Copies of this chain bind each other. A is one copy, B any other.
Amino acid sequence: MESLISEGGYNIVFNMLSMGIAAMLFTTIFLVMAKDRVLPRYRMAVMVSATVTGIAAYHYFRMFDSFNHAFGPDAIEGTVYNVGYRYVDWLLTVPLLLVEVIAVLGLARALQSSLLVRLVPAAALMIGLGYPGDAQLDIAGIAPSVWGLLSTIPFLYILYVLFVELGKSLDKQSAAVQRKIKELRLLLLATWGVYPIAFIANMNATGFDEGGFVLREVGYSVADILAKCLFGLVIFTIARIKSAEDDASFAKSEFKD
């Protein structure tokens, strides 16, 4: 059987998926170890971050195997690369990423709940609406681009809540924390912005198009690593800064200056 993909394209996707495994797995292990380096009140945020990268590590192992079964030298005929793993991963992890952000801020519990009951369903809806387009399912003849557009509506709503509504409560945070939260939001905007581009890269293919496929997989992997690993590490840094601000004796034992 002739392979569907060139050696170069195969190697790029293969190495990106393996990098995804390494990044997700060891960010998880690091965050599990590192949770004791913040005050108890911020450990929930660090634990949720570790859960996100842990779930992603599982899916990267699965995707790596699925990719090899579909395109590797010992590919099994009739095996198709399962993009469903990505959407199941996102369905579980994207709402949790928003939980991380809210949890690390140490907001009043009423405000925390009111933000989460809006962010979590919006995140789930955003992922759910993207899937039929990316998997090129034929549901009532709706085109992939329409699913992509529908999925953008909850995305914009999430941005509104994070930038406008959450923005109002930020002035209660210290200057150092405010700076980090702004970095976090920009990271979210920049990395989540990659997903629609990767989605579009593969959208117009009828059947299998190598260029679009490779671009999509590289885009999703890079965006995932930044949006989960780097994001989780920024959350951890915010938790460290806030712990030191809240408790002088903690600051003294953890930092030299």
Contact A255 B109 (CB under 8 A): yes
> Is A14 close to B, CB under 8 A?
yes
How many copies of the shown chain assemble into the complex? Answer: 2
Contact B41 A88 (CB under 8 A): no
Name A44's contact: one of B34, B50, B88, B107 (CB within 8 Å).
B34
Contact B40 A108 (CB under 8 A): no
Name A59's contact: one of B22, B34, B109, B257 (CB within 8 Å).
B22
Residue of B nearest to A78 (CB): B73
Which residues of chain A in 11-26 are interfacial with respect to chain B, using CB atoms and an 8 Å cutoff? 11, 14-15, 18-19, 21-23, 25-26
Which B residues lie within 8 Å of A41 (CB)? Answer: 253-256
Contact B19 A108 (CB under 8 A): no
A224 CB to closest chain B CB, in angstroms? 14
A49 CB to closest chain B CB, in angstroms? 11
Whether A37 touches B40, Cβ cut-off 8 Å, given contacts A55-B26, A73-B77, A73-B79, is yes
Contact B62 A92 (CB under 8 A): no
CB 8 Å contact bits of A226-257 with B (1 = contact, 0 = none): 00000000000000000000000000011111
Residue of B nearest to A64 (CB): B62
Which residues of chain A in 58-99 are interfacial with respect to chain B, using CB atoms and an 8 Å cutoff? 58-59, 62, 73-74, 76-80, 82, 84-85, 87-89, 91-92
Contact A40 B253 (CB under 8 A): yes
Contact B254 A22 (CB under 8 A): no
Which B residues lie within 8 Å of A23 (CB)? Answer: 92
CB 8 Å contact bits of A24-39 with B (1 = contact, 0 = none): 0110011011110101
Contact A109 B257 (CB under 8 A): yes
A108 to B257 alpha-carbon distance, docked (Å): 6
Which B residues lie within 8 Å of A151 (CB)? Answer: none
A76 to B21 alpha-carbon distance, docked (Å): 24
> Is A202 close to B, CB under 8 A?
no
Given A22-B59, A33-B35, 14 more contacts at CB 8 Å? Answer: A15-B88, A19-B88, A22-B55, A22-B58, A22-B92, A26-B55, A30-B48, A33-B47, A34-B44, A37-B40, A40-B254, A73-B76, A73-B77, A109-B255
